[in-house]
Amino acid sequence: MSAQSIPPFPNSGSFLSAIRQSAKGLRIASGIVIAPAQVKRLLFSPTFVESFQRVSKIHGLALPLNFSSSLDELNLLSVLSLLNFASGYRAPLHMQTGRGAWDSIRALVFSLYITSSTGEGDLLSAQGLKSVSMSQIAEFMGINLHVERAHETIPGVVIGELGGPLHDLVKHIASILNETGEILLNNGYSNLGSFVAEALKDSAKASDGQAALEVVLEKLVRAFPGFRDMSIVDRKPIYCFKKALFLTHAITIRFGSLSPPPFPMLDTTKTPVFSDNVLPSLLIHLGVIDVSGNPSLSSLFPNASSDENLSPLLGSPPAAVKVAKSGTKVVPKEGPIVTADQAYILRAAAIDACEIIVETAQSLTDEEKEQGADWISKITLPELDMWIWSIAKDRPDYRALERFAALDTIYF
- Let me know if residue 371 belongs to a domain: yes
- Let me know if residue 9 belongs to a domain: yes
Q: Residue 33: what pLDDT?
A: 97
Distance (Å, whole) CA 73 – CA 117: 13
User: 316: closest CA among 401, 402, 391?
Assistant: 391
- Let me know if residue 199 belongs to a domain: yes
- Let me know if residue 412 belongs to a domain: no
- Let me know if residue 47 belongs to a domain: yes
Containing structural domain, residue 37: 3-399
Model pTM? 0.92
- Let me know if residue 174 belongs to a domain: yes
Task: Give, in order, the Cα–Cα distances in Å from 326 to each of 104, 107, 323, 331.
Answer: 20, 21, 8, 15
Residues of the chain with pLDDT under 70: 1-4, 118-120, 146-151, 156-163, 319-330, 372
Q: Residue 162: what pLDDT?
A: 66
Q: Residue 163: what pLDDT?
A: 67
Q: Are 213 and 203 in contact (CB under 8 A)?
A: yes
User: 224: closest CA among 191, 159, 180?
Assistant: 180
Please state the domain count of the chain.
1
Q: Residue 41: what pLDDT?
A: 95
List of long-range contacts for 4-11, beta carbons under 8 Å, 24+ apart: 4/232, 5/231, 5/232, 5/340, 6/228, 6/230, 6/231, 6/232, 7/230, 7/231, 7/232, 7/237, 7/238, 7/239, 8/237, 9/218, 9/221, 9/222, 10/239
- Let me know if residue 191 belongs to a domain: yes
Q: Are 301 and 291 in contact (CB under 8 A)?
A: yes
- Let me know if residue 405 belongs to a domain: no
Distance (Å, whole) CA 205 – CA 61: 28
